[in-house]
Every structure is written in structure tokens, then in C-alpha cells.
Amino acid sequence: MRRIARPTCLLLACAALIITGACGDDRPPLASAADAAAAGAGEPSKQADPARGRRLIAERGCIACHTVPGVGGPASKVGPPLDNMARQAYVAGVLPNTPDNLVRWLLDPPAINPRTAMPNTGLRTADAQDIAAFLLLRAGTPEKTP
């Protein structure tokens, strides 16, 4: 005869599920909107342009490997999804997530992590700054579904 699981085990499992389900992501982004707009602040006169960054993501084919909220394209699972970038602690798991480090990564990923599958895409600094600003400003923005 099979024995039914003890009620205490079931109660603990249910409690764990409830607690896990109640955990929301109400944390503020690690990078603020002001930080994102000033991505690559080496050029004080230039503010990064998130709208241009969105266009560059589409034009440069980033969506061939990444799912990028706000940029239409095929569903891709080659690289990680790039939603909520400002809430990520690290860029590519190796650099602390700051606008400048995201720009560094976008400019030459293999120089940061030689084992990465992401190629050097030949971005210019201004392009990387605009893409970084777009990705960092997307944090917490709900995806609109048609």
C-alpha cells in the first residue's frame, strides 16, 4: 500500500510556492534613466539617443540572436533576451552593469570575454552609446502586445 505524503510536507511545499509567487521584482533599476542617457559620458556634449539606439538594434540585426522588447523581429534564443537590462547586476555575467561598461561590451565583446559567442560587430562609440541608452531605459517598461 502506498503512503500519502505527510501533510506537513505538503504544507511546506505549498507555502514555498506561495512565497515564491509573491516575490515581485519591485526593485528600482540599477542604472537610472539619467545614467542611461549619459551613457559613454566621455563626450559631455553628446547625450545618447535611445530612439536611435532602437533603430540601430533593428538595422544591425541584433534581433537575429536576441529578443529585444520594443524591436520587432523573429523570436530568437541564440543570445539572452535584452529586457530589463537596467535591473541586471552584470553585463554578460562579467562586467558590473553600468552604462559605460555596457558600451564597452557592445564595442568589443570578445575583448571582454574571449569565450563569448557574441562577435565584434564593428559598432562606433556613438552607436554603442545609443544602443546602451535604449537598453537601459527599457527597464521596467511593460511590453505592449497587439
Rounded to an integer, the average pLDDT of 7-30 is: 53
* Domains in the chain: ranges and CATH: 30-137 (1.10.760.10)
56-73 residue pLDDT tens: 999 999 999 999 988 988
Q: Is the pLDDT of residue 122 over 70?
A: yes
Contact residues for 49 (Cβ-Cβ < 8 A; gap 6+): 130, 133
Q: Is the pLDDT of residue 49 over 60?
A: yes
Instruction: Please state, in angstroms and rounded to a whole number, the distance separating the CA atoms of residues 5 and 20.
Output: 22
Task: Say if residue 108 is exposed, middle or buried (CB neighbours under 10 Å; 0-12, 13-18, 19+).
Answer: middle
Stronger pLDDT, 108 or 31, i.e. the higher one: 108
Q: pTM score, two decimals?
A: 0.69
Would you state the pLDDT for residue 44? 47
Highest mean pLDDT among 45-54, 61-70, 124-133, 136-145: 124-133
Cell numbers representing residue 70 in the block? 520594443
